[in-house]
Structure 1
């Protein structure tokens, strides 16, 4: 196997692993929020909390391990994170649509979390390309 193929394979493997870690953090924090909160709108609140946790975990892993990116200053770091968030808005819409659709169709937490996992997977495939071109370029 040539070096370019090995390098690409390693990148895909690490990116997939980090996506799984982020997905687990997202869905686990949703589960925790869902179990702790009994007020109005528990599903949207759990999804928002999970999204925030997953975003922070994925950003830290992508920045350091996938893109080997270093900030020039605190202001540059804030700008980079802001671009990361903006690029994630469309992919988050895909994730949320899948998760809420699964909830609406099947009315179960298991279906909702499975829909979320499918939506996250689709979103991460697109997110890598967006991040490579617009965030960590």
Structure 2
């Protein structure tokens, strides 16, 4: 694996991966919401769930390899690690969902909903990094 980034390089890499995962999340949401006019609460919840799942898998794969340099192998070990990674995301997902839903309910537009999603995801990703470094990837040495 390549040399571990330090300081600003790590922040930029993590932020870039957060952007990639956010775009994957919002893209998946748009696919679910396509053709639904007006968007109802059930369709919005489904879109948010699908988007969250897609973003979670994308971010896990990127973080594991390029942020924490984790070399965990084996289906059982990786499954347990992904489960822990997902559990750490429960609180951060709540931040994201509440923010996105609040923006949609207040302004009622797709643009507002996506702004709320980006803000919620941004706050959530900062929190998620700290949790992952401490609890999920600590055996890998994490990234300082």
Query: RMSD in angstroms over aligned alpha carbons?
Result: 1.8
Residue 71 of structure 1: how far off its partner (Å):
1.5
Q: List alignment gaps of at least 5 residues for structure 2.
A: 139-144
- For 1:45 and 1:106, locate their aligned partners in 2 and report how far apart those are by CA, in whole Å: 20
- For 2:47 and 2:123, locate their aligned partners in 1 and report how far apart those are by CA, in whole Å: 20
Using structure 1 for the length normalisation, give the TM-score: 0.91
- Indicate the structure whose relative CO is greater, using CA pairs within 8 Å and at least 6 residues apart: 2
Q: List alignment gaps of at least 5 residues for structure 1.
A: 1-5
Match of 1:3 in 2: none
Match of 1:71 in 2: 72
Using structure 2 for the length normalisation, give the TM-score: 0.87
Deviation digits for residues 16-70 of structure 1 (CA, Å, limit 9, x no counterpart): 0000000000011101110056897111111101000000000000000000102
Higher helix share: 1
Aligned residues between the structures: 133
- For 2:86 and 2:106, locate their aligned partners in 1 and report how far apart those are by CA, in whole Å: 29
Give structure 1 regions of 4+ aligned residues with deviation exceeding 4 angstroms. 36-40
- For 1:136 and 1:88, locate their aligned partners in 2 and report how far apart those are by CA, in whole Å: 14
